[in-house]
Amino acid sequence: MPALTNLSRRTELATLSDIDRALINRLQDGFPICEQPYQIVAEELGLDEPDLIERIQQLLDDNVLTRFGPMYHAGQMGGAFSLAAMRIPCERFDEMVKVVNQFPEIAHNYEREHELNMWFVIATETPEGVADVIGQIESATGYRVYNMPKEEEFYVNLRFKA
Amino acid sequence: MSISVLKHKMINGPDRTIDDLDRNIIIATQGGLPLVPKPYEALAKQLNTTADEVMSRMQWMVDFGVIRRIAAVPNHYALGYKKNGMTVWDVPDENISDLGKKVGQLPFVSHCYHRPRYLPEWPYNLFAMVHGKSQDEVDQQIAEIKAVLGEHCKQHSVLFSKRILKKTGLRLKT
């Protein structure tokens, strides 16, 4: 369970070498499925395999990368996901973050500058799961959850050039 | 990406759905891929199967969109993208498909969706995420979206992120 201490993820700019930048860009594009995939990527970048693995570990430790691995799509697994928002009074915000984040179905959660100040993605294994989790969050917090599932997806491609 | 083709139709592949071994692979990798020279073999040992079995199942999950991709997710703040805005727009429902596609094509938009309104307090139905290294950059991006929407946009707002509260990705219950 991520503790609140993990919550203040680094927000300052990292100092990155050109190699790390190239590595971050490369790793966002997809990773091979083969016996020694790190070897393949290392060769592409002109590194050796142990160096590549160590660099990825370091970028994760430094919180430059938040994760590295398969990005699962709850909808294609037969489940569902949705974006939802809540309006939480400032003085209760941190307390309510803990309550909401406790749910393993909360995949991402952001504080945003708006009256609706908490925005999170719910990912569940079953289609009915989203409504169940919303009901549980509303009872646990006492605040309304605005469910905003997508009605149509126009574009998704989140990549950041390092 | 092939997801749009699969959307609303096929859950999992054409000839099979997720079984226990797939589910165990998902649970074993949802925190990340092992950082060892032979990661699929390491998973296979952990799950009491073969590396070939793990690789073929993961390839199947990639092919059918269960895995969007195997990749790194950067902390965008660390890369200098400190202005991350969820731009939200109130446009007529009858035009939204057309407008959404145009906004989604802008190079700086990472996600673009039609989502429901909650009247009267939430009149916005078109969502587009933008990311920039400075306020000026993001202001410019917002102006470009506004120009694309033109007179169709009745009102809009931008919700900047203040803090990442959680970013774990999907987690199955074990």
Q: Where are the alpha helices (DSSP H) in B7-158?
A: 20-29, 39-47, 51-63, 96-104, 135-149
Quote the pLDDT of residue B12: 64
Q: Is domain B83-160 given the CATH code 3.40.50.300 in the classification?
A: no
Task: Identify the burial level of A91 via C-beta atoms within 10 angstroms of its C-beta, where 0-12 means exposed, 13-18 middle and 19 or more buried.
Answer: exposed
Give which of A144, A103, A110 is closest to A124, Cα–Cα: A103
Give ranges for CATH 3.30.70.920 in chain B: 83-160
Which pLDDT belongs to residue B17? 80
Beta partners for residue B161, in sequence order: A112
Mutation test of the interface with chain B: which of A124, A155, A160, choosing the one with the most B Cβ atoms within 10 A?
A155
Q: What residues in B contact A33, CB-CB < 8 Å? A: 40, 55, 58-59, 62, 70
Report the SS3 class of residue B168: coil
DSSP string, A83-142: EEEE---GGGHHHHHHHHHTSTTEEEEEEESSSS-EEEEEEESSTTHHHHHHHHHHHHHS
The pLDDT of residue B99 is 97
CB contact under 8 A, B18 and A107: no
Amino acid letter, A119? W
* A118 shares contact with chain B (CB less than 8 Å): yes
Mean pLDDT calculated for residue range A147-155:
93
Range scoring the smallest mean pLDDT among B12-16, B31-35, B101-105, B163-167: B12-16
Residue B166 CA from chain centroid, whole number: 15
The domain defined by B3-63 folds into Arc Repressor Mutant, subunit A (1.10.10)
**What are the two backbone dihedrals, phi and then psi, of residue A38, each rounded to the nearest 5 degrees?**
-65, -35
CB contact (8 A) between residue B70 and residue A31 = yes
The pLDDT mean for chain A works out to 90
Reported ipTM: 0.80
What was the pLDDT predicted at A159?
Answer: 79
Residue A39 to residue B161, Cβ atoms within 8 A: no
B95 in Cβ contact with B103 (< 8 Å) = no
Structure confidence by residue, pLDDT tens digits, B75-119: 888 898 889 999 999 999 999 999 999 999 999 999 999 999 999
Evaluate if residue A1 carries a pLDDT over 60.
no
**pLDDT of B7 above 60:** no
Share of chain A above pLDDT 90, in %: 77
The beta-carbon contacts of B108-111 under 8 Å, at least 24 apart in sequence, are B108/B132, B108/B141, B108/B144, B109/A155, B109/B141, B109/B145, B110/A155, B110/A156, B110/A157, B110/A158, B110/A159, B111/A155, B111/A156, B111/A158
The angle at the Cα of B172, spanning A134 to B9, to the nearest 5 degrees, equals 80
More confident residue, A65 or A159: A65
Beta carbons within 8 Å of B34's beta carbon, 6+ residues apart: B42, B43
Domain A80-148 architecture? 2-Layer Sandwich (3.30)
- CA-based nearest residue in chain B for residue A62: B78
pLDDT at residue A3 is higher than 50: no
Please tell me the distance from the alpha carbon of residue B35 to that of residue A158, in angstroms, as a whole number: 23
Contact flag A125-B172 (C-beta cutoff 8 Å): yes
Q: How far is it, in rounded angstroms, from Cα B163 to Cα B150?
A: 31
Enter the DSSP assignment of A157: -
Rg (CA), chain A: 19
Arithmetic mean of pLDDT, A114-120 = 97
Tokens of A64: 């430059």
Contacts of A35 by beta carbon, 8 Å cutoff, 6+ apart = B38, B40, B41, B51
What architecture is the A17-71 domain classified under in CATH? Answer: Orthogonal Bundle (1.10)
Inform me whether the C-beta atom of residue B119 falls under 8 Å from chain A C-beta atoms. Answer: no
Instruction: Indicate where chain B has its CATH 1.10.10 domain(s).
Output: 3-63
Residue with the bigger pLDDT between B93 and B4: it is B93
CB-based contact A40:A49 (threshold 8 Å): no
Report residue B82 as tokens: 């400190």
Task: Give the residue-averaged pLDDT of B5-25.
Answer: 69
Per-residue pLDDT at B76: 84
Q: Where do the CATH 3.30.70.3460 domains begin and end in chain A?
A: 80-148
Asked if A110 lies within 8 A of B29 by C-beta distance, the reply is: no
The model's confidence at residue B2, banded by pLDDT at 50, 70 and 90, is very low
pTM for the full predicted model: 0.80
The ranges of chain A annotated as CATH 1.10.10.2890 are 17-71
